[in-house]
Amino acid sequence: MFDLKKLNYIDPILLSCTDGVGTKLKLAIDQKDLNFLGFDLVAMCVNDLLANGGEPLFFLDYIASSKIKKNQFLQLITSINLACKEAGCSLVGGETAEMPGLYRKDEFDLAGFSVGVVERKNILKKENVKENSILIGLESNGFHSNGYSLIRKIIKEKKVSLKTKTPYKSSKHNLGEDLIEPTKIYVRYVLPLIKKKKISAIAHITGGGIFENLERIVPKNFFAEINTERFSIPEKFLWLKEVGQINSIEMLKTFNCGIGLILAIDTNESKKIMDFFKKKGINSYIIGKISKKKKKQQTVFIKKFGQWDLI
């Protein structure tokens, strides 16, 4: 089905990624809205492929439940198929399983598997990142698919109703709708730049937040410094921080806080790349740079992140 030569790959490497939606499922079920879960599932896989320089080729899903319900199943498959189209890959198959002895009534789980391809010379890795490289952050859609165990815990302990009017600026009618906003798929915005060799490395900001994920693309003997005032942290993260009484460092260790991808690029390319994202309608921000590490210097040093001063 996939002829790599026809895809113009001369020396290709196949990449794969498996992921799931996690406890965001619980909120979607509570909201009785499964229409966007496919985007969360596909995005977590294809964005990881993208972080390695990969172009997604195809996707397979796994749905397990106490009992497969036709309407629920169709919602999920339709959503997954639409997300695959957004990512430019094909939904080629999947698996469904009924396990009433394992799942309670109305419970189910989702997992996905994606395969992508990258030219060997175009693989993104931290060794590509040089001193004085610029760090560009791309906006997220919100919480994406991470930190939902903590979000649900805070909602429960603080007795916050999902049906309440969204307590911050949002296009959604209530808090529950906003919290299940789907993960952004970045493939069609970022892949053209990868193919033109404009990006050195990418950090996909998932579980572990900005601290842990950005650390993965910082070369040995270097450190990443984030110091930005132009970026405004989305109100939903400020609200959660206040309601849950979470300090700034913990927020940045758990959530994306408004930045879904961080790109490491050459200084000379920054204006062109920023202009490119502007034309695509994607908000991007220069949030930091890569520098030589001093003795006992931490790998990721965040001085100022939007409204938060961390030193």
Q: What pLDDT, on a 0 to 100 scale, did the predictor assign at position 107?
A: 81
Does residue 27 fall inside a structural domain? yes
Which of 287, 284, 262 has the alpha carbon at shortest distance from 274?
284
Whether the pLDDT of residue 6 is over 70: the answer is: no
Interval 126-146: pLDDT, tens: 999 999 999 999 999 999 999
Sheet holding 284-292, edge to edge: 201-204, 259-265, 134-139, 284-292, 222-228, 300-305, 308-309
How far apart are the C-alpha atoms of 262 and 268, rounded to whole Å? 17
Please work out, in degrees rounded to the nearest 5, the angle formed at the alpha carbon of residue 289 by the alpha carbons of 284 and 19: 60
Q: Look over the chain and give the mean of its residue pLDDT values, rounded to a whole number.
A: 93
Residues 113 and 131 in one domain: no
Burial class of residue 229 (count of CB atoms within 10 Å of its CB; 0-12, 13-18, 19+): exposed
User: Is 248 part of any domain?
Assistant: yes
Residues 151 and 283 in one domain: yes
Domain, as residue range, for 198: 126-309
Q: Once rounded to an integer, what is the mean pLDDT over residues 231-247?
A: 96
Query: Would you place residue 2 in the very low, low, confident or very high pLDDT band (cuts 50, 70, 90)?
Result: low
Are 30 and 159 members of one domain? no
Confidence (pLDDT) at 4: 59
pLDDT grade for 5, boundaries at 50, 70 and 90: low
Q: End of a domain among 122, 153, 181?
A: 122
Q: 141 and 103, same structural domain? A: no
Contact 13, 116 (CB under 8 A): no
- DSSP three-state, residue 25: helix
Average pLDDT over residues 207-234: 95
Q: What is the pLDDT of residue 10?
A: 79
In total, how many domains does the chain have? 2
Q: What is the CATH number of the domain that holds 239?
A: 3.90.650.10
Phi/psi at 31 (nearest 5 deg)?
Answer: -80, -10
Give yes or no: residues 105 and 135 share one domain: no
Indicate whether 138 and 279 sit together in one domain: yes
Q: Are residues 256 and 165 in the same domain?
A: yes
Alpha helices in the chain (DSSP H): 24-31, 37-51, 70-87, 148-157, 175-179, 187-195, 209-215, 235-244, 248-254, 270-279
Domain boundary among 86, 103, 122: 122
Say if residue 82 is in the same domain as residue 130.
no
Would you say 265 and 136 are in contact if contact means Cβ atoms under 8 Å apart? yes
Place of tokens 């942290």: 233
Domain presence at residue 31: yes
* Residue 202, domain member (yes or no): yes
Structure confidence by residue, pLDDT tens digits, 172-206: 989 999 999 999 999 999 999 999 999 999 999 99
Q: What is the pTM of this model?
A: 0.94
Q: In 3D, which of 83, 136, 170, 141 has the Cα closest to residue 278? A: 136
